[in-house]
Amino acid sequence: MQENAQIKTFQDLGLKKSILNSIQRAGFTAPSPIQAEAIPHILQGKDLVGQAHTGTGKTAAFSLPALNNMTLKDGVELLVITPTRELATQVSDEIYKYGRDIGVKTVTIYGGSSYRRQLDLIERGAHVVVATPGRLLDILKKNMVKDFAPKMVVLDEADEMLDMGFLDDINEIFSYLPTDRQTLLFSATMPKPIKTLAERILHDPVFVSITKGETTNADIEQLYYIIEESERDAAIIRLMDSEKPEKSVVFCRTKSEVDRLATVLSANGYLANGLHGDMEQRQREAVIKSFKNGEIDVLVATDVAARGIHVNGISHVFNYHIPFDPESYVHRIGRTGRAGTKGKAITLLTPLEFKELKRIKQKVGTNIDLAFVPSKQELKESNKEAVVQQILDQHIFEEAPAILDMLKEEIDEETIIFKLISMVLDRNAIKGPNSIGIPKEKLQYILEKMEKRHDGGGRNRGRGGYRGNRNSRGGNNRGRERNRSRSRH
């Protein structure tokens, strides 16, 4: 928006000194685009619809002006509704971080645990409630909190709530909330049911979109690889060997596929674990915790199970199958490239699925480029530098000189060196067939035929640029709700 073009710093936004101090302590130097666009309108008390992908600073965009305008006198002033426990915890922690200098008390509400503890914390003077829909609706229907009248209500990740089947709950929740309120709705995509919801719950809203026609993050490099159906496992392993992801999520369509692929990746040396809706809550929490802590570095998950997992440091997202719809694609790849970091999204598809890719590209308005799975020989060549660095970084044990002397009695030094290097190479052996995927020449012929068929014999359009061989070496069911309530004083 033109009127906010001059906003360069948080001081330009007109926030109170106490809030600016919290921002400085958090290490922020300049507002992100969504913050620069949204905060002035929110400070003025306007309703707002914000369209922005995950990891763009949406929580700060609504929590900073909300905290700035709080009186800290009249009970709950801010209600944030999020689709999952994971996201509710994250949002609550962030709001507490920004508001602790002014004494803000936050309470996080999940289902599945004692009501009494949650209600006590609210009644003891909470200023902010962050809640998931199920437990919040239950509390409101049973009138468990007297005079619950938040001045600001934020619906965060609205399209995820739609995907998870919470839309009826959301509509009912708003029937219990005061009409004299400021309402904010944030969503990565704007499907028709969300637009209808916005029309119903917001009054003359300002629309802010930083996507410029796209709903995916410019910091995410998006690639697709066309393979035969039988090559999916081999392609995932080869691409992981090539990309060397620091932390990655592999999306599958079914629970059985998640279990099988997690086993395959583990057998090939990756610290992988699965996540899906049939797992018990304790299992899910243990897997997510292990992923956050780096005890596993590959999370294999279904779309539903991965909702609300906002883990920093995910360098790669792999789509084992192309997702069924554009919204799922946006949500999947939004797990990487967060908070200004670079990410990579890789999608595997067969020639028959190419039309689905075109549909996603057209709907989302994004560039997804064609790339080719490196051959075994190409990967060997690209890995040479990594092997050299591995040897240079190797710690020398005190037993090494004695073993070297013993070896010299049997073979010459040059042969010793060659054998030791070969041990390292063997440890880094590349598995699978030499070539994976459809060869360039054959693929070009297939795609041209498909383009002509879909375009009625017209000129080829929208194939995406060929990228050549990608030899990257650097590593750079709506479940039951559990409760975690917290009041910070």
In the three-class reduction of DSSP (H, G, I as helix; E, B as strand; rest coil), residue 450 is classed as helix
pLDDT score for 487: 43
Among residues 264, 94, 291, 99, the alpha carbon closest in space to that of 275 is found at 291
List Cβ neighbours of 366 (8 Å cut-off, separation of 6 or more): 214, 215, 216, 222
Which superfamily is assigned to 220-375+435-469 in CATH?
A: P-loop containing nucleotide triphosphate hydrolases (3.40.50.300)
Which superfamily is assigned to 2-209 in CATH?
A: P-loop containing nucleotide triphosphate hydrolases (3.40.50.300)
pLDDT score for 274: 93
Average pLDDT of the chain, as a whole number: 83
Of the listed ranges 94-103, 246-255, 467-476, the least confidently predicted one is 467-476
In the three-class reduction of DSSP (H, G, I as helix; E, B as strand; rest coil), residue 151 is classed as coil
Q: Is the dihedral of CA 417, 419, 425, 427 positive or negative?
A: negative
Q: What is the pLDDT of residues 92-135, one digit of tens each?
A: 988 998 998 899 999 999 887 778 888 998 988 899 999 999 99
- 133 versus 146: the higher-pLDDT residue is 133
pLDDT score for 488: 45
Cα–Cα distances in Å, from 309 out to 88, 359, 453? 11, 26, 40
- Strand ranges (DSSP E) for 257-365? 272-275, 298-302, 316-319, 343-349
Among residues 335, 343, 338, the alpha carbon closest in space to that of 58 is found at 338
Most confident of 52-61, 261-270, 284-293, 306-315: 261-270
pLDDT score for 162: 87
81 forms beta bridges with: 131, 155
Among residues 92, 174, 146, the alpha carbon closest in space to that of 483 is found at 92
Among residues 199, 133, 185, 129, the alpha carbon closest in space to that of 164 is found at 133
Of the listed ranges 231-240, 311-320, 480-489, the least confidently predicted one is 480-489
Token pair in block for residue 459: 């000129």
The number of beta carbons lying within 10 Å of the beta carbon of residue 4 is 18
pLDDT, average across residues 16-26 = 88
At residue 43, does pLDDT exceed 90? Answer: yes
Per-residue confidence at 1, pLDDT binned at 50, 70, 90? very low
Cβ pair 42, 18 in contact under 8 A: no
The H-assigned helical ranges of 124-191 are 133-141, 158-163, 167-175
Cβ pair 104, 96 in contact under 8 A: yes
- 478 versus 337: the higher-pLDDT residue is 337
At residue 204, does pLDDT exceed 80? Answer: yes
At residue 24, does pLDDT exceed 90? Answer: no
pLDDT score for 458: 43
Q: What is the pLDDT of residues 424-469, one digit of tens each?
A: 877 767 777 778 888 777 877 777 776 666 555 444 433 344 444 4
Phi first, then psi: what are they for 274, rounded to 5°?
Answer: -100, 160
For residues 35 and 55, what is the distance between their CA atoms, to the nearest angstrom? 12
- 475 versus 444: the higher-pLDDT residue is 444
Cα–Cα distances in Å, from 142 out to 176, 177, 296, 343? 11, 14, 42, 45
DSSP H or E stretch at residue 370? strand 369-372
Do 2-209 and 220-375+435-469 have matching folds?
yes
| First and final C-alpha spacing in the chain | 38
Give residue 120's identity as a one-letter amino acid code: D
DSSP H or E stretch at residue 416? helix 413-427
At residue 52, does pLDDT exceed 80? Answer: no
pLDDT, average across residues 334-348 = 85
pLDDT score for 473: 36
Q: Which DSSP state fits 345?
A: E
For residues 404 and 406, what is the distance between their CA atoms, to the nearest angstrom? 5
Among residues 141, 137, 142, 131, the alpha carbon closest in space to that of 169 is found at 137
pLDDT score for 155: 96
- Using the CB atoms, write b or e for 16-35: b if 16+ within 10 Å: eeebbebbeeeebeebbbbb
pLDDT score for 450: 66
Cα–Cα distances in Å, from 20 out to 12, 46, 78, 98, 195? 11, 22, 19, 9, 34
Burial level of 479, CB count in 10 A (0-12/13-18/19+)?
buried
At residue 304, does pLDDT exceed 80? Answer: no
Relative to beta strand 272-275, strand 298-302 is: parallel
For residues 390 and 393, what is the distance between their CA atoms, to the nearest angstrom? 5
The number of beta carbons lying within 10 Å of the beta carbon of residue 369 is 14
At residue 287, does pLDDT exceed 80? Answer: yes
pLDDT score for 459: 42
At residue 249, does pLDDT exceed 90? Answer: yes
Q: What is the pTM of this model?
A: 0.59
Among residues 397, 402, 390, the alpha carbon closest in space to that of 427 is found at 390
- Enumerate the domain spans of the chain: 2-209, 220-375+435-469, 377-427
Among residues 349, 347, 373, 143, the alpha carbon closest in space to that of 241 is found at 373
pLDDT score for 463: 37
Among residues 204, 202, 146, 137, the alpha carbon closest in space to that of 176 is found at 137
